[in-house]
Amino acid sequence: MATEQKSSNQSTPVNRRNFLRGGAGLALGLTAANYRALAANAPSDTIRVGHIGVGGMGTNRLKSFIANDDVHCVGICDVDESHAAAAVAEVEKRNGYKPDSYHDFRKLIDRNDVDAVVVTTPDHWHCLPTVTACDAGKDVFFEKPMCHSINEGRAMVEAVKRNKRITQMGNHIHNDLNNYRRVVEVVRSGKLGKITKVALWKRANIQNLDHPADCDPPAELDYDFWQGPAPKRPYNPNRSHFNFRYFWDYSGGDFMDFWCHITDVAFWALDLGGPETVSAVGGRFFNDDNAETPDQLDVLMRFPDLTLTWDLHPNGLPGYEEFGSIGCVFQGRDATLVTNYGQNKIFVDGKEAKDFERPPESIPNSPGHIREFLNSIKSRELTTCNAEYAFRLTKPGLLSNIAYRVGETLHWDDEKEKVIGNYRANKLVTRDYRRPWRL
């Protein structure tokens, strides 16, 4: 177990009886109402932040947060002792003080001097810390994709709404580059004509993970806690840390890892909701290993008066090589716009229209994804990647993986958040939690 340093600001620690009885939904020490009262007023100056999950992406986010003068990191939480120790050392090196270290995220959230938490865990651990933090009156920055299952996303949205919390999904391309803003302006202007098709692509990673044997987990990793609400599996070197994303228990593969980044511009520009139908075919064709998620996937969605396709393939989408490994194509009746993260071009009759008349800029540039979240903690104004938008964006990606796994076209009722007439698919809309964890 990682060493836990006690602070005079901490309230009553969790005990075993409460842990087993309450799972992650337990209020520790103070009640949710007390927490909300404490957090009712936005921080006027210093924002006290706790970080949950400080592996690769978690450490990157930590560095970005503590680079802001008005942020004070009060705590680090990770079930891998080496990750936690490295993160504490990073804060001390950069800012000259040592934050407290935790093994159990609930003990960090239990502190009454925490304004916000940053959840940068694997996907299957996004929901419980977020819901627990919201119910404890904390604001939350969580990584993309928002959730591992649709019922988790709904639980997160409801927790945010009932506690009136500020949230931001770590979909940093939305704010850290301003190219998407310019694309949204063009699409919404109508100058491309009615958009009838959106095509998206991602060049799949070829990363053969081989077939390592199951073995004992590293001494510094609490693998049982790491698995959390996921099914109990033998430890395998490929199942944790970065490679978790290639196993259904924890994530949705290369596809889901980038879904929110790339489709964001389409959902933003066209104000898309839930699809009417979703189908997906593919497989793990290019890697010979023990991973599960596809490295080739073709998705087809139907929205009212619009089709959306996604192409995941190691070679990308033929014909758009100049745009690199990711991209989005808006096909309008009058013109076509192609964009990646940093640039966009417009084509008319198959030729680039360099003199295409673009609309005036109307969407202000962003102060940056993390800075927007910090500003909103103080102003209490919604962020642009808040929980409701994040869930609307994440949900169709989750549905695509469900369609792939059951091998059928799904007919989706977005209001009820159910697949119509498909029991196997609906089983994957929700997620069973391993005891003692519950949602």
* Strand duo 139-142 + 116-119: pairing: parallel
Rounded Cα gap, residues 404 and 172, in angstroms: 27
Q: Is 264 in contact with 222 (CB distance < 8 Å)?
A: no
Rounded Cα gap, residues 306 and 105, in angstroms: 43
Q: What pLDDT is stored for residue 207 in this prediction?
A: 84
Rounded Cα gap, residues 186 and 337, in angstroms: 9
Phi/psi of residue 158, nearest 5 degrees:
-65, -35
Per residue, the 3-state secondary structure of 386-432, as one string, reads: CHHHHHHHHHHHHHHHHHHHHCCCEEEECCCCEECCCHHHHHHHCCC
Phi/psi of residue 399, nearest 5 degrees:
-65, -35
**CA distances, 436 to each of 135, 329, 433 (Å):** 19, 45, 8
> Taking the mean position of all CA atoms in its chain, how far away is CA 396?
13
Mapped onto helix, strand or coil, the DSSP state of residue 142 is: strand
Q: What pLDDT is stored for residue 1 in this prediction?
A: 32
Q: What pLDDT is stored for residue 69 in this prediction?
A: 96
Rounded Cα gap, residues 253 and 244, in angstroms: 9
Sketch the domain layout of the chain as residue ranges.
16-174, 178-364+388-420
Considering the domain delimited by 16-174, tell me its CATH architecture: 3-Layer(aba) Sandwich (3.40)
Q: What pLDDT is stored for residue 205 in this prediction?
A: 87
Q: Which residues of the chain have pLDDT under 50?
A: 1-41
Closest CA to 348 of 359, 357, 335, 338: 335
Q: Does domain 178-364+388-420 have CATH number 3.40.630.10?
A: no
- How is the beta sheet containing 418-419 ordered, strand by strand? 351-352, 344-348, 336-339, 326-332, 195-203, 306-313, 296-303, 277-283, 410-413, 418-419
